């Protein structure tokens, strides 16, 4: 549970003079900003010449903000090493998949594995931690900024060397690597680790194992970099440490947050794409269980850069976003950025204050958020998000598999977001959990789009089933091995034996005229699919038409006290969406999922609970159309203290209510 709710903004005092800072502080107080995040691009200000490090500018700003009731999250400035580091040093720079070496002038231009970079990054981190680590204004740390948001796997010489070491640790002998990757294909065969290339320029695609393992190598290295900064900071500061990440970046978020203290993310989802916003809240809450997450960056109105802009939020939406995030487990709601930039490549980006010091189009929304924050803070502090009955697995390892094998330009993020959104439409409260997340106390586990199901994951899921849980596997799950190859004992490896089913073959079902029938509904089937033998004992979904007429696309097997359900294919189109919801609803009803409401689409209910088990709902309209929900028993409005009777409750456009039972 949070002790307070933060309302913050990214602040760049190094870009302005003292007078502007005075004005900023005054305006921040008016807007209700109680935390500023600073420093992530300010390496030059801290170390203008190599070795001449002086953090006093920030010490000053932090103290001044603190005197005015504004706390600080301090960031390490490592996404932007200064010119003294980069000039005439191509060997220190990031190299992309085409072999192009990055130059100075943007961000993330250095290779984070370069040894000299690491040395310099550690030095600046240590100086900062020493200088500001014990200041009372510093309440948290952010490491770097959005790792791997613009870049992915680096192809420089240092990375090549580290890649070889990594492979040797993983495979021990080159023979084992050759065997695992099947390198006799296209005469790829290697005689030593030094011969294994990076997945750089090539006439056609690389071996899937090479590509996916390189992504894993890169994700591990960036997490190690984060770990090393955190370790240095901890020597000088007790303030908790985070990183501002997001789903599309080339990182393994579960691994990244392992050694950090709290989870945070940045989001610029548009209003139309609120599913993505909600999914992030439901996911980030679960990277650090029991610890509130932060929204470290979001726009007051519209995101933009020199090249493009998004549409501004409708008036009212920002407050809806803010209360939803607080209700779903957020401790902080912060903007990028405070004052519009007068230079650089992000001048058109939405902000709280314009470059000339006037309120922006989003300013009133910020005031509305602050008014709401003050009202709901006592309630949020007393309660926490209620655990869902349903868990959906989210995996950045799966994301990497999809990057290597996107089938038809598919990406894990959109597949999972669409799937997730069905739970929202059904009014079912849900937890998105990382692969290693505990399954304790859930009733239903969904594992969609996880090409490789690890032994560890399967073991946990089977234990869950044995003790009574229902595990729904697929679509597109289980068909690949750890090495990103195809199983040779059965299409789905060990899963088939455990579930007592037989997968016959796999192929793309799109456009084949195959229609899936299950639970009284029908819909076209699509995507790379697994077809099961028709077996009276296990069949729940059959295929009509196409290449596999009469076979099964869905099976159900009793295992221990629970069930394993395989969904081999994705129902598509509008009928498909309806069938997927039917499937979810069927198993939610069967397993007596109770954290669920009949709220209308576009409005959401976030259930919360206090220490005595007293339950509440935070109801928020997010589409500006208003909505309604049935209140199951007499309740009370937490904010007005008025009685709310057990009947249909209407919610106005962007309105929020807190009802307690």
Q: Which residues are catalytic?
A: 146, 297
Which structure tokens are listed for 102? 């990055």
Burial call 537-555: b when 16+ CB within 10 Å, e when fewer: ebbbbbbeebebeebbbbb
CB–CB of 563/557 below 8 Å? yes
Q: Return all residues near 427 (Cβ < 8 A) that are at least 6 apart.
A: 596, 597, 598, 599, 605, 629
* Nearest residue (CB) to ligand GAL, 24 versus 496: 24
Q: How many residues does the chain have?
A: 661
* Nearest residue (CB) to ligand GAL, 296 versus 424: 296
Closest separation in Å from C-beta 293 to ligand GAL: 16
Closest separation in Å from C-beta 287 to ligand GAL: 18
* Nearest residue (CB) to ligand GAL, 202 versus 345: 345
* Nearest residue (CB) to ligand GAL, 332 versus 492: 332
Parallel, antiparallel or unpaired: strands 503-508 and 528-532: antiparallel
- Among candidates 4, 5, 22, which has minimal Cα distance to 13? 22
Which structure tokens are listed for 645? 């009777």
CA distances from 130 to 53, 61, 143, 338 (A): 12, 16, 15, 27
Which residues in this chain contact ligand GAL in the complex, by CB under 6 A? Answer: 145-146, 149, 266, 268, 297, 303, 336, 346, 349
Closest separation in Å from C-beta 9 to ligand GAL: 12
* Nearest residue (CB) to ligand GAL, 202 versus 306: 306
**Distance separating alpha carbons of residues 443 and 471, to the nearest angstrom:** 9
What's the N-to-C CA distance of the chain in angstroms?
A: 20
Closest separation in Å from C-beta 68 to ligand GAL: 24
Closest separation in Å from C-beta 218 to ligand GAL: 19
Q: Return all residues near 220 (Cβ < 8 A) that are at least 6 apart.
A: 166, 252, 255
CB–CB of 113/198 below 8 Å? no
Peptide bond into 337 cis (omega under 30): yes
Closest separation in Å from C-beta 483 to ligand GAL: 33
* Nearest residue (CB) to ligand GAL, 144 versus 496: 144
* Nearest residue (CB) to ligand GAL, 146 versus 389: 146
* Nearest residue (CB) to ligand GAL, 113 versus 301: 301
Q: Return all residues near 488 (Cβ < 8 A) that are at least 6 apart.
A: none
Alpha helix stretches (DSSP H) within 237-336:
253-258, 274-284, 317-327
**Distance separating alpha carbons of residues 166 and 181, to the nearest angstrom:** 15
Closest separation in Å from C-beta 190 to ligand GAL: 38
Closest separation in Å from C-beta 19 to ligand GAL: 25
Which structure tokens are listed for 326? 């607080």
**Distance separating alpha carbons of residues 439 and 252, to the nearest angstrom:** 20
């Amino acid at each position: 549970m949070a002790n307070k709710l933060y309302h913050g903004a990214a602040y760049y005092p190094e870009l302005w003079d003292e007078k502007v800072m005075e004005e900023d502080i005054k305006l921040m107080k008016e807007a209700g900003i109680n935390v500023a995040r600073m420093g992530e691009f300010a390496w030059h200000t801290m170390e203008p010449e190599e070795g001449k490090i002086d953090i006093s500018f920030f010490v000053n700003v932090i103290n001044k903000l603190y005197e005015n009731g504004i706390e600080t999250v301090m960031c390490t400035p490592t996404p932007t090493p200064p010119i003294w580091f980069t000039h005439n040093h191509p060997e220190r720079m990031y190299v992309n998949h085409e072999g192009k070496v990055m130059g100075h002038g943007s961000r993330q231009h250095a290779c984070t594995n370069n040894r000299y970079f690491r040395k310099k990054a550690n030095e600046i981190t240590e100086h900062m931690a020493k200088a500001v680590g014990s200041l009372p204004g510093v309440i948290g740390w952010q490491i770097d900024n959005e790792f791997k948001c613009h870049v992915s796997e680096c192809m420089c010489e240092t990375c090549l060397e580290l890649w070889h070491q990594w492979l040797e640790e993983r495979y021990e002998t080159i023979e084992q690597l050759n065997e695992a990757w099947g390198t006799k294909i296209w005469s790829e065969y290697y005689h030593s680790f030094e011969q294994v290339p990076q997945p750089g320029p090539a006439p056609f695609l690389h071996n899937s194992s090479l590509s996916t393992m390189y992504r894993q190598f890169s994700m591990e290295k960036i997490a190690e970099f984060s770990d090393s900064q955190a370790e240095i900071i901890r020597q000088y500061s007790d303030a908790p440490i985070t990183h501002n990440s997001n789903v599309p970046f080339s990182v393994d978020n579960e691994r990244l947050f392992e050694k950090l203290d709290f989870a945070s993310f940045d989001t610029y989802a548009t209003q139309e794409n609120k599913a993505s916003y909600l999914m992030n809240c439901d996911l980030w809450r679960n990277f650090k269980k029991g610890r509130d997450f932060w929204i470290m960056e979001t726009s007051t109105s519209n995101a933009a850069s020199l090249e493009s802009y998004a549409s501004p939020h409708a008036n009212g939406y920002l407050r809806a976003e803010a209360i939803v995030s607080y209700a779903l487990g957020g401790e902080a709601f912060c903007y990028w950025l405070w004052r519009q930039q007068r230079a650089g490549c992000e001048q058109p980006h939405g902000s709280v204050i314009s470059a000339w010091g006037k309120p922006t189009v989003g300013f009133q929304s910020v005031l509305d958020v602050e008014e709401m924050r003050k009202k709901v803070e006592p309630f949020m502090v007393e309660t926490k998000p209620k655990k869902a009955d349903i868990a959906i697995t989210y995996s950045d390892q799966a994301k990497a598999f999809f990057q290597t094998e996107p089938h038809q330009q598919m990406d894990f993020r959109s597949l999972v977001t669409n799937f997730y959104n069905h739970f929202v439409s059904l009014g079912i409260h849900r937890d998105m959990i990382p692969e290693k997340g505990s399954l304790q106390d859930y009733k239903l586990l969904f594992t969609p789009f996880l090409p490789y199901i690890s032994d560890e994951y399967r073991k946990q899921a089977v234990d869950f089933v044995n003790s009574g849980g229902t595990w729904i596997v697929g679509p597109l799950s289980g068909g690949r091995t750890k090495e990103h190859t195809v199983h040779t004992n059965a299409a789905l490896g060990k899963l088939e034996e455990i579930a007592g089913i037989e997968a016959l073959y796999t192929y793309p079902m799109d456009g084949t005229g195959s229609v899936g029938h299950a639970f009284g509904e029908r819909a076209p089937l699509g995507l790379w699919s697994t077809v099961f033998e028709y077996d009276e004992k296990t069949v729940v979904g059959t295929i009509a038409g196409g290449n596999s007429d009469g076979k099964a696309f869905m099976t159900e097997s009793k295992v221990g006290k629970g069930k394993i359900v395989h969904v081999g294919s994705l129902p598509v189109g509008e009928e498909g969406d309806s069938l997927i919801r039917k499937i979810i609803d069927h198993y939610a009803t069967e397993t007596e999922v109770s954290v669920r409401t009949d709220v209308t689409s576009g409005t959401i209910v976030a259930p919360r609970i206090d220490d005595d088990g007293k339950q509440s709902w935070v109801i928020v309209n997010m589409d500006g159309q208003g909505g309604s929900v049935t209140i199951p028993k007499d309740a009370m409005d937490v904010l007005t203290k008025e009685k709310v009777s057990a009947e249909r409750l209407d919610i106005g456009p962007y309105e929020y209510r807190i009802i307690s039972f």
